[in-house]
Amino acid sequence: MDRLGPRPNLAVIREDVRATEAYAVPSAVGFVKLDAMENPFSLPEGLQQQLGERLGRQALNRYPLSDPRGFKERLGKAVGLPVGMQLMLGNGSDELIHLIIQACAKSGATVMAPAPSFVMYEMSARFDQCAYRGVALKDNFSLDTERMLQAIDEQKPAVVFIAYPNNPTGNLFDRAAIEAILRAAPGIVVLDEAYLPFAQDTWMPWLKRAPNLLVLRTLSKLGLAGIRLGYLAGDADWIEQFEKIRPPYNVNVLTLAAADLMLENMSIFDSQAASLRSERARLLSQLQATPGVRAFDSAANFVLFRVAQADAVFASLKQRGVLIKNVSMTHPLLAGCLRVTVGTTAENETFIKSLRASLSVGP
């Protein structure tokens, strides 16, 4: 059969999309995987069996519930949702970020966030054809409150995203600074608590006090990255509007069944999070004791650190079978920085040993 043309006509694709690189996820086969802030622990064998049985009972021939109210009630109770507030579920928090922005994407709308921060805030804003303004952090990675408030006054952003703790820096921003932003912002302020299990500091109770506040969370960092479930908490008036543009079957039956079982076994994940908090402290101490390394305090399940030759050290670690994240070129404040996920004791020891060997080799 003859082709109708020599090549696909990519001119129909938006220019900004064609100019963008796809989000790259490197293969981790054969590596000690410490690049994606995942929980390193697998499910206990008994829970694996329960999960298999529960998933096997799901009606895969039927669409999932568009509004699984029973599950949301159980989830709301488990996460301390204030009375009168509502939840919205997403295929990971990435989808919820997109839906929030899409709902507010009027002509000329601006999305704002500290910089550096989670890359999906900017990507989603640009794909939804909103202006994006990243407001630089201070050199110590704290919020520049004066600069943030000035930018809010000038730009009148529809949405402000604040990762709490921040990714990739790992620190919790000053609560008084965030309160000032909540008072000043004319639109929505989203507190992204993806790393709550490791920070143990939440803005959820503030939903009753701040009408423009939304709290965004995910089950990924807790240990369920594979099921892709995020949730958004906020006033019913906000959730009602976002639900209008949510795909009706965005969370599948297997994800819901798996998450429901995990809610019944949260003590397992709480114990794992406690173990990782302990490992984080030990890993940070080892990094801070390593010559040539400047490691930054973290309230997440990763540690950011700076070295003299980040690219060379990153490459050397890969050659030694350890995969971490090179963020040194993503923002000027991150020059020389690498980010390592907190793993098991054995994984962390392998990383430290490999890092010290890499530093001794040099560029």
Q: Is residue 3 part of a domain?
A: no
Query: Is the domain of 80 the same as that of 15?
Result: no
pLDDT tens by residue, 163-199: 999 999 999 999 999 999 999 999 999 999 999 999 9
pLDDT score, position 66:
87
pLDDT tens by residue, 200-232: 999 999 999 999 999 999 999 989 999 999 999
Label residue 29 by pLDDT band (50, 70, 90).
Answer: confident
The more confident residue out of 138 and 4 is 138
* Whether 294 contacts 339, CB under 8 Å: no
Domain CATH number, residue 113: 3.40.640.10
What's the pTM value of the predicted model, to 2 decimals? 0.94
pLDDT tens by residue, 246-278: 999 999 999 999 999 999 999 999 999 999 999
Mean pLDDT of 120-142: 97
* Whether 164 contacts 191, CB under 8 Å: yes
Mean pLDDT of 341-350: 98
**SS3 letters across 114-146:** EECCCHHHHHHHHHCCCEEEEEECCCCCCCCHH
d(CA 303, CA 168): 8
How many distinct structural domains can be found in the chain? 2
d(CA 41, CA 128): 36
Share of the chain above pLDDT 70, in %: 98
Query: Is the domain of 196 the same as that of 273?
Result: no
Query: Is the domain of 196 the same as that of 67?
Result: yes
Query: Is the domain of 319 the same as that of 225?
Result: no
Q: Is residue 4 part of a domain?
A: no
Mean pLDDT of 229-249: 97
Contacts of residue 118, defined as CB under 8 A and 6 or more positions apart, other chains included, come to 161, 163, 167, 192, 194
Q: Is residue 312 part of a domain?
A: yes
143 has pLDDT over 50: yes
Query: Is the domain of 146 the same as that of 180?
Result: yes
For the chain, what is the mean pLDDT? 95
Give the pairing type, strands 159-163 and 110-115. parallel
Question: CA–CA distance from 290 to each of 8, 245, 325 (Å)?
Answer: 53, 50, 19
pLDDT score, position 1:
61
Query: Is the domain of 207 the same as that of 299?
Result: no
Query: Is the domain of 238 the same as that of 305?
Result: no
Range of the domain at 243: 61-265
Closest CA to 210 of 187, 230, 192, 231: 187
CA torsion, ordered 74, 77, 83, 85, to nearest 10 deg: -60
Measured in degrees and rounded to the nearest 5, phi and psi for residue 133 equal -125, 115
